[in-house]
Amino acid sequence: MRKRKLKKKNIFIAFLLLIILIFLIIFIINHLPKDNKKETSVFKTEQNKWEKYKYYLKNNQKRYEVYFSTHPEADLNDVIAIVNVNADKEAYKESNEANLQKGQEILVNKYHSLAENYTPKSMVEMDKKYAYEGRKALPEVNEAFKKMYEDALKENIEMYVVSAFRSYTYQGQLYTNYITTYGEKYANTVSARPGYSEHQTGLALDILSDSVEMKDFESTKAFAWLKENSYKYGFILRYPKDKEYLTGYAYEPWHYRYLGKELAKKVWEENITYDEYYAYYLDN
Ligand SMILES: [Zn+2]
């Protein structure tokens, strides 16, 4: 009797084990491929945590990691932007020549310079009606500004160009004056070294209104209008607020860069600095 009971118990245990085994096999079959996938994706995320960010550039990955290791508190989007525009490098010292082949898309900043003898080919003198005397710019820039000026005027908004093309030599004098007045550190945030100014391309304009000084331009109607409309004429605000860590310059509500209507619209819609836009979309 006891033996039989034991045998019955053994069969029961064996049966139970078999069922557990079957369930286990089904479970493994159902879950193994998924788990494998999961593992791969976890692995990938750790390898390329940068990849999911919009402006990630594969070539810059090492530099993202280096920058982040010394700035662990930084937002990863910022790290990517900083590295993309070269702001992890030393301004002026680690710079290359600006790519002249880019035409009106050219990027000139503290990492992309122009030669001392570089002068835009054909410039025109801007009309005294809307510019200080003797201001010169590329013909397409002059035309675009003229149209913008006329359209703004229809809405009773007045604006005029105080600075347009600046030669290497003239930029040098300006820069030296700033250093003499304010010291080098501050001068670098408000003035470009000769060879590093967008004004040398003939594509940049400083615009003011209502006889206000530069520091007060932000509060004018003209600025509010330009902020919403300048891209429609091919101009973008080149040094926006709170972007000094990317552009290298303090906020300049008066400084506009001509890019042509099509590109200006794209940059405006993307809502990033031209340094970032150029690095991601045009620097190839
Ligand atoms: Zn300017």
Q: What is the pLDDT of residues 94-151, one digit of tens each?
A: 999 999 999 999 999 999 999 999 999 899 999 999 999 999 999 999 999 999 999 9
**CA 284 – ligand 1 centroid, Å:** 26
Tell me: pLDDT of 58 over 60.
yes
**Lowest-confidence range among 30-44, 142-156, 230-244?**
30-44
Q: How far is CA 60 from CA 74, 108, 261, in A?
A: 17, 20, 30
What pTM value is reported for the model?
A: 0.82
**CA 259 – ligand 1 centroid, Å:** 15
Lookup: tokens for 232: 């429609």
Lookup: tokens for 91: 């301004």
**CA 255 – ligand 1 centroid, Å:** 4
**CA 80 – ligand 1 centroid, Å:** 27
**CA 22 – ligand 1 centroid, Å:** 76
pLDDT of residue 38: 46
pLDDT bin (cut points 50, 70, 90) of residue 18 is confident
pLDDT bin (cut points 50, 70, 90) of residue 37 is very low
The contacts of residue 169 (CB under 8 Å, 6+ apart) are 194
Minimal CA–CA distance to 129: which of 164, 163, 159? 159
pLDDT bin (cut points 50, 70, 90) of residue 12 is confident
Q: What is the mean pLDDT of the chain?
A: 91
Whether the Cβ atoms of residue 233 and residue 184 lie closer than 8 Å to each other: no
Q: How far is CA 110 from CA 7, 95, 261, 283, in A?
A: 88, 7, 25, 16
**CA 6 – ligand 1 centroid, Å:** 96
**CA 155 – ligand 1 centroid, Å:** 25
**CA 7 – ligand 1 centroid, Å:** 96
pLDDT in tens, 259-272: 999 999 999 999 99
pLDDT of residue 248: 95
The contacts of residue 240 (CB under 8 Å, 6+ apart) are 247, 251, 273
pLDDT bin (cut points 50, 70, 90) of residue 24 is confident
pLDDT of residue 21: 82
Fold topology of 121-272: Muramoyl-pentapeptide Carboxypeptidase; domain 2 (3.30.1380)
Instruction: Look at residue 272 and give its three-state secondary structure.
Output: coil
Tokens 């898309």 -> residue:
105
Sheet holding 160-163: strands in order across?
160-163, 204-208, 255-258, 235-237
Whether the Cβ atoms of residue 280 and residue 84 lie closer than 8 Å to each other: yes
| Distance from the Cα of residue 90 to its chain's centroid | 17
Alpha helices by DSSP H, the chain: 2-47, 61-70, 76-84, 139-154, 168-182, 184-190, 221-229, 244-247, 261-270, 274-277
| Residue bearing the bigger pLDDT, 109 or 16 | 109
